[in-house]
Amino acid sequence: MRSFAFNLAYWILSIGYGLTAAFAALIPGRDATAFVIRRYVHRMVQAMRLLAGIRIEVRGRDRLPTGAFIIASKHQSWGDGFATYDQFDDLAFVTGDHLEKFPLLGTVLKKLGAIVVNNCGGREARDSLKQSGATAHAEGRKILIYPEGNLAKTGEKFRYRSGVWHMYRDFDMPVVPLASNLGLFWPQEAYAKHPGTATLEFLDPIPTGLGKEAFLERLEAIVEARTAELIAEARGGPVIPNVRVLAPDEMAKQARAARA
């Protein structure tokens, strides 16, 4: 019943606030649309708590630097975005171009200043990150990105993509790693929800100046290690390192190669 109630609320809130945001996007400036989306996110987090029984505990806010920075987050749940966005007043975020396929959503994303990139990655995605990210950086906004580029199952991880490093280098901004075990309670995009207290933990910022390989290795090690610890803490069991698996695009590429 919890899952049914939450999923019903999810669609009611999404449709209602989505239409409201689309109308707000007709108003000059970003403030009206941003206000609607902040209310939508806040209501969704409330529904997670009241209907699905999923409470969000946030740790490490004292580690956040002042000014603009990049948040590089673990991504195990569709709820990650709601829970993280709810922590900030004005957050830019990187998302795949698949969301633009939904009616009116592309207009809302554009008005919000979201950084929309090609899901297939490559130079086109990097150029989009650079151009749209530069606008968010110039406005002094914080930027949320999921370095793996895909929703991972609990206990798994994907290759960390280089897009986050390009922003880190180009904008000379510190990166705050974010670990999470929300996937235990709202797995990926699953219908079933499991009550409990999920934890988001902001970790020590990675200072600017690192090379690509050193940065990505450090980011992955920090996020994956702490995520595994948070999962073990919630389960009351031993810490089990996350296992690297192929991302969907890597599997598709491998399948094409096998057929060739």
- Among 86, 177, 163, 176, smallest CA distance to 132 is for 163
Contact 148, 159 (CB under 8 A): yes
Instruction: Single out the residue of 146, 145, 236, 230 nearest to residue 183, CA to CA.
Output: 230
pLDDT of residue 98: 62
Q: What percent of the chain has pLDDT over 90?
A: 63
Residue with tokens 């994303």: 109
Q: Angle, to 10 degrees, between the axis of helix 163-171 and the axis of helix 212-235?
A: 120
In this prediction, residue 105 carries a pLDDT of 74
pTM: predicted TM-score of the whole model, two decimal places: 0.89
One DSSP character per residue, 44-110 reads HHHHHHHTS-EEEEEE-GGGPPSS--EEEE---BTHHHHHHHTT-SSEEEEEEGGGGGSTTHHHHHH
| Mean model confidence pLDDT for the chain | 89
Show the tokens assigned to 104.
């009116």
Pairing of strands 175-180, 196-202: antiparallel
What CATH architecture does domain 56-259 belong to? Answer: 3-Layer(aba) Sandwich (3.40)
Amino acid at position 83, single letter: A
Torsion of CA 188, 189, 191, 192, to 10 degrees: 10
Q: What does each C-alpha distance from 4 to 1, 10, 117 come to in angstroms?
A: 5, 10, 32
Contacts of 81 (CB under 8 A, 6+ apart): 93, 144
Lowest mean pLDDT among 36-45, 57-66, 110-119: 110-119
Closest CA to 228 of 176, 183, 260, 172: 183
Q: Name the residue ranges covered by the structural domains of the chain.
A: 56-259
Residue 64 pLDDT: 95
Q: Strands 175-180, 70-73: parallel, antiparallel or unpaired by DSSP?
A: parallel
Q: Which of 126-130, 171-175, 237-241 has the lowest mean pLDDT?
A: 126-130
116 band by pLDDT with thresholds 50, 70 and 90 = confident
pLDDT per residue as tens digits for the range 163-202? 899 989 988 889 999 999 999 999 998 999 999 999 999 9
5 pLDDT higher than 90: yes
